[in-house]
Chains A and B, each alone.
Chain A
Amino acid sequence: MTAPPLLSETAVAVCMASLLFVPLAGAGLALINSGLGRSRNAAHTMMASLCVLAIAAVAYFIAGFAWQGFAGWPAHAVTVAGKSWSWISAGHFFFRGLALNGSPASLAAWFGMLSAGLAALIPLGSGAERWRLRAACASTVLLAGWTYPLFAHWAWGGGWLAQLGANGGLGRGFVDAGGSGVIQVVGGLTALSIAWILGPRRGKYAAGGMPAAIPGHNVVLVLLGCLLALPGWAGLNSAGSLLFLRVEPGRVVLIAVNTTLAAAMGALAAGMTSSRFGKPDASLTANGWISGLVASSAGCALVTPLAAAAIGLVAGGLAALSAEWFELRFAVDDPSGAVSVHAVGGIWGVMAAGFWGRFPAGAMGGSSGQWVAQLVGIATLLGFVFPLTYALNRLLNRFCPYRVEPEGERQGLDLYELGAGAYPEFITHTDDLTLG
């Protein structure tokens, strides 16, 4: 395996500047999750977000980056039909042997710490209002310390998905610049696993199976979260493209334009789709915005602005429609729409990069067979990552029960698990305490 070329000084500077924006994406998701839940769980959601980000960073530092590695690093491989396929990195725990000096590997480690936290924030949305804090923290250890780094190695660390181009003649191999698949779909499928394991909130489904609407408590937080997420995603997409696609720094402008266009079209599409009930729905519009961002990530540096707009348009429509399907038809209680936004939007983004991505002149390999490489990546997410994350969380649920007691859910997780509410001067209405 040959080591990728070094980044230019300008590329390193732009990458570092971009990475500084990434925590804004996490802040945006935390605010969205908090705003879409009820007020009695608001502080718990924000506290859980902070804890999850902290644990993800530590788990990734201890073990995650050792499994993920970096292209060109030593790795364990299996040989099939005369071709060597890398399946896990042979790196060291605790970042040992990694010079934190602006080298591409050190930037990838920084990127990984932030994006593992971002992936871990996603299931908090689907498990909101009933997922214990300590269980969420334990689940994050699995996600950031094993599941996420393993797939990240396959896609970004020179693993077998990245080798599909060189070994299998499938375009440039699996391409996912900003993490539509690696971050968003991994997080989104974990969110579906968590929603399945926890079951719906008390009072969500009536005896006949009809879902009740449980509106979020603060749409202003949700929309502020969307605005914060935009620069965060632009940073994520720029840094990922520089590190994993090795695009020239000037392409960051195209990436920022594409990211913005995808978010804008996603919000408009979701707003229009939800308007069929008479008025646009603010929470669905917000979901469309985030879904556009999610879908933009995979091909942000490779598609034209027109294609990015189309990617966002489809992602926004899919987010609004699939949120309805998951709630009404599939009986999945996902308070923040995490599965629709991150899993569905991410899968669409990965495929769209295969269809519309065009590699810069002089890049290795061509676009021929690229969509097949992207399809193999999606098949791996659905056929390996999803069963793995479901099984691991189901097992963990036996030792560390995920669901809070009925009393905790009735009282609200703020008081039950933290001992203090987010809005102590609010008057608690009795009907709020008797729901379900």
Chain B
Amino acid sequence: MKLAGFLVLVAGWAIVLGAVALFSVSLLRTGFVLAGVGVEALGLVLAVRSHAERRGGPA
């Protein structure tokens, strides 16, 4: 689960990178950057929850 969380984090960053590199229209670019950050937030929640469910045991 923690691995999945990290993969989602990287996927969110890829959306942000794509938005910055490919879009020149300000609104579209901002929208995709926000979407990428939203995906990252999901990944972070997934990683944090998977750790918390094990009550903090070592990785």
A residues whose Cβ falls under 8 Å from a Cβ of B: 80-81, 83, 85, 164, 168-170, 196-200, 204-205, 209, 329-333, 369, 372, 375-376, 378-380, 382-384, 386-387, 390-391, 394, 397, 403
A379 & B10 in contact (Cβ 8 Å cutoff): no
The contact sample of 10 A-B pairs, CB cut-off 8 A, is A85-B21, A170-B20, A331-B55, A332-B56, A375-B33, A376-B20, A379-B12, A382-B9, A383-B10, A386-B9
Cα distance, A80 to B22, chains bound together (Å)? 8
B52 & A330 in contact (Cβ 8 Å cutoff): yes
Interface of chain B residues 11 through 35 with chain A (CB within 8 A): 11-14, 16, 20-22, 24, 26, 29-30, 33-34
Cα distance, A391 to B29, chains bound together (Å)? 30
Cα distance, A332 to B47, chains bound together (Å)? 12
Cα distance, A204 to B37, chains bound together (Å)? 33
With A205-B56, A332-B51, A382-B44 as known contacts, state yes or no: A372 contacts B13, CB within 8 Å.
Answer: no
B55 & A379 in contact (Cβ 8 Å cutoff): no
Shortest C-beta distance, B50 to chain A (Å), equals 10
- Interface size in chain B (residues, C-beta < 8 A): 32
* A383 CB contact (under 8 Å) in B13, B54, B57: B13
Cα distance, A222 to B47, chains bound together (Å)? 31
Shortest C-beta distance, B24 to chain A (Å), equals 8
Residues of A within 8 A of B21 (CB): 80-81, 83, 85
Shortest C-beta distance, A85 to chain B (Å), equals 7
With A199-B57, A200-B56, A205-B56 as known contacts, state yes or no: A379 contacts B51, CB within 8 Å.
Answer: no
Residues of A within 8 A of B20 (CB): 164, 168, 170, 376
B residues whose Cβ falls under 8 Å from a Cβ of A: 2, 6, 9-14, 16, 20-22, 24, 26, 29-30, 33-34, 36-37, 40, 43-44, 48, 51-52, 54-59
Cα distance, A178 to B43, chains bound together (Å)? 28
* A379 CB contact (under 8 Å) in B37, B48, B56: B37
Cα distance, A387 to B20, chains bound together (Å)? 21
Residues of A within 8 A of B29 (CB): 168, 372
Residues of A within 8 A of B33 (CB): 372, 375-376, 379
> Across the two chains, which residue of chain B brings its CB closest to A385?
B13
With A198-B58, A205-B56 as known contacts, state yes or no: A378 contacts B37, CB within 8 Å.
Answer: yes
> Across the two chains, which residue of chain A brings its CB closest to B34?
A375
Shortest C-beta distance, B15 to chain A (Å), equals 9
* B9 CB contact (under 8 Å) in A85, A168, A383: A383
User: Beyond the given A330-B51, A379-B36, A386-B9, could you list 12 further A-B residue pairs with CB under 8 A, ordered by the A residue number?
Assistant: A81-B22, A85-B21, A196-B2, A198-B58, A330-B48, A331-B52, A332-B56, A375-B34, A382-B12, A382-B40, A383-B13, A383-B16
Shortest C-beta distance, A158 to chain B (Å), equals 16
B59 & A169 in contact (Cβ 8 Å cutoff): no
